[in-house]
Amino acid sequence: MKNEIILEMRPVGEISGHFFVPSYQRGYRWSEKEVGRLLDDVWENGARNYCLQPIVVQRREDGSFELIDGQQRLTTLYLIYKYLASVKRFSITITYQTRPKTKEYLESIDESKKEENIDFFFIAHAFQCIRDWFSKKEPDGKTFRRCLSEHVQVIWYEVGTSAAQKDEAIDLFTRLNIGKIPLTSSELVKAMFLRRGATENDEKARLRQDEIALQWDAIERELRRDRFWSFLTNSSGDDYPTRIDLVLDLMANKEPTEREHYYTFFHFDKKMKEGVGAKKLWEEINAAFLRLKDWAEDRQFYHKIGYLIASGSLSLQEIYNMSEGKTKSEFREMLDAKIRESLKFAGNRTLDELSYESGSDRGAMSRLLLLFNVISVMENESQADWFPFEQFKKSGSWSLEHIHAQHSEGLKTKKEWQEWLKLHCDAVKALRENANADLLREMEDAAADENLTRETFESLQQRAIACLSKDSDVGYLHLLSNMALLSCSDNAALNNSAFAVKRQMIIDLDKAGSFIPHCTKMVFFKYYTSSEDATPYFWGEPDRQAYMKAIREKLKAYLSNEQPISEEN
């Protein structure tokens, strides 16, 4: 039995034994805040069951336990029992490898010696906090002790002592106590599957456990592929030290607002206590993972589900629940309906009426342009490329950018004005029109002028924009026909640039390997504009009409019938 993993919910009153705190752990450091919270939780829960965080141990050769995780909780429980004069009911002792005197101090707290070392200080302070709490709250001592002993439980996780398990325990020691990365629900659930029961000598059971361990590791590796992970969630991989937690959370139907860190472990623990076998539970987990993998390998499912998640329209949990019991065709229809729903605009507005100046419209425009990019890539089956959600999410925040800007909002410093002028000099020069010679000379002089004023800059800026604009009417500036998705940039000058300058910026970024969304790239490369209307310097009426036509055609299946689409831009 010594190699067996023991994982169970254990009442605090049933914890016993000698606990050894190894040298790599710091001493006791809980403050009044943590001690008070524990006491409040015990008392407020009363006769209801309440679970503390895990206590992780490994049995030593002399029968004592090496305390891997839980020193702070266990020491505080000892101090509470000591205050209640019930240490005998909590039959534990705690020894510290590098601080042997701490054991003695813990057993006979002498406040006159609390300044002798830092461990004594924190233990004495915690004991005083317990005394003050009982004095202030005045709970019945016997009732409190009964609640603590019978209704408060810990997740007792005792790792095995085989050579392999010892190596795993060393890794666990480092992560929990040095790296300060908490034990995850998935690690506890995995231990549930790998622990031995009455069949521990059964060769068939052992082989099944080995198979589960191998499959578990394979799932974890798959979920660490950026493309797969970014398709499934908007969460950073850092939010999931063990990625399989995402699948287990799906199975447990864990809500995003759920605050219980081990909610998912409790779900599977309850299932096993209800008689659901480990074999059946594992088959369900594996089937859930294979469903996600199937979606990721299906071109339509990948792009449609990926859009709904990336746009924030639905969570993976909502999509997973929606897929239960559905055929692939039924599920595909439901996804299409959810995509159409995501494009419903405030006030039933049409594409032509959406305006960047409206906050609600801005969100709708962002979703619409993301979908335009995703569907454009999805339907281009002649290419092997799929929409790279991993690059889209790694690039940080995305914003609506004016394809052609006519304002210098955000440009407040002389340095920013000079940079803007330098960038636009090349665009004006490229027009090769004699009428612009004076303007170009003035812009070049101003860009080098250390005494440049706002008045001079704004005058030159307006003349340059007029020179680089095809239309005198600027009513289109905030409409969808002048919007594209671009990664947010700290360079305000570029964000306020005319089309010709932004076009060169996109080309330079693309050459440098930056991720530019497919349709944004096509806009600046004039892909949607017919050859007779195309010019690299302006974003004019023919460009805007062609762009809007492409959006309508690509998204016609998702634009609601209640949203009439005008034929004019």
Question: Domain check: are 540 and 444 in the same one?
Answer: no
Question: Domain check: are 77 and 164 in the same one?
Answer: yes
- Residue 193 resides in a domain: no
Higher pLDDT, 1 or 165: 165
> To which residue do tokens 């746009």 refer?
311
Report whether pLDDT(347) > 80.
Answer: no
- Residue 230 resides in a domain: yes
**217 and 201 in contact (C-beta within 8 Å)?**
no
Of the ranges 190-194, 247-251, 486-490, the best mean pLDDT one: 247-251
Helices (H) and strands (E) counted in the chain, each on its own, are 24, 8
Of 25-29, 135-139, 346-350, 471-475, the one with minimum mean pLDDT is 471-475
* pLDDT bracket for residue 336 (50, 70, 90): very high
Number of domains forming the structure of the chain = 4
* pLDDT bracket for residue 416 (50, 70, 90): confident
**186 and 245 in contact (C-beta within 8 Å)?**
yes
Residue (of 122, 94, 118, 84) closest to 21 by Cα position: 94
Q: SS3 for 483?
A: strand
* Pairing relationship of beta strands 398-402 and 65-69 according to DSSP bridges: unpaired
Question: Domain check: are 175 and 111 in the same one?
Answer: yes
**57 and 71 in contact (C-beta within 8 Å)?**
no
37 token code pair = 């919270």
Burial class (CB in 10 A: 0-12, 13-18, 19+), 502: buried
Q: Which amino acid is at 433?
A: E
Tell me the C-alpha distance between 387 and 302, whole Å.
9
DSSP string for residues in 391-404: HHHHT--EEEEESS
Question: Domain check: are 119 and 22 in the same one?
Answer: yes
> To which residue do tokens 């029992």 refer?
81
344 token code pair = 């419903």
Q: Which of 341, 359, 388 is the last residue of a domain?
A: 341
453 token code pair = 């004023």
* pLDDT bracket for residue 248 (50, 70, 90): very high
Burial class (CB in 10 A: 0-12, 13-18, 19+), 470: middle
What confidence tens digit (pLDDT) does each residue in 108-156 have? 999 999 998 899 999 999 999 999 999 998 888 889 999 999 999 999 9
Mean pLDDT of 329-341: 96
Tell me the C-alpha distance between 342 and 513, whole Å.
31
- Residue 426 resides in a domain: yes
Question: Domain check: are 369 and 506 in the same one?
Answer: yes
User: What rounded mean pLDDT belongs to the chain?
Assistant: 86
Question: Domain check: are 396 and 415 in the same one?
Answer: no
Question: Domain check: are 246 and 374 in the same one?
Answer: no
Residue (of 110, 135, 318) closest to 232 by Cα position: 318
Q: Which amino acid is at 252?
A: A
- Residue 229 resides in a domain: yes
Question: Domain check: are 317 and 216 in the same one?
Answer: yes
Question: Domain check: are 370 and 423 in the same one?
Answer: no
- For residue 446, the enclosing domain spans 411-460
- Residue 130 resides in a domain: yes
pTM, entire model: 0.80
**523 and 489 in contact (C-beta within 8 Å)?**
no
Residues 6+ apart with CB under 8 A from 71: 21, 25, 28, 94
- Residue 188 resides in a domain: no
* Pairing relationship of beta strands 398-402 and 17-21 according to DSSP bridges: unpaired
Q: What is the pLDDT of residue 564?
A: 44
Q: Which of 320, 341, 362 is the last residue of a domain?
A: 341
- Residue 189 resides in a domain: no
Question: Domain check: are 389 and 490 in the same one?
Answer: yes
Q: What is the pLDDT of residue 314?
A: 97
Q: Which of 422, 443, 460 is the last residue of a domain?
A: 460
- Residue 190 resides in a domain: no
**436 and 467 in contact (C-beta within 8 Å)?**
yes
Report whether pLDDT(195) > 60.
Answer: yes
Task: Centre a 10 Å sphere on the Cβ of residue 192 and count the other Cβ atoms it contains.
Answer: 19
Question: Domain check: are 24 and 126 in the same one?
Answer: yes
Residues 6+ apart with CB under 8 A from 282: 193, 212, 215
Question: Domain check: are 297 and 372 in the same one?
Answer: no
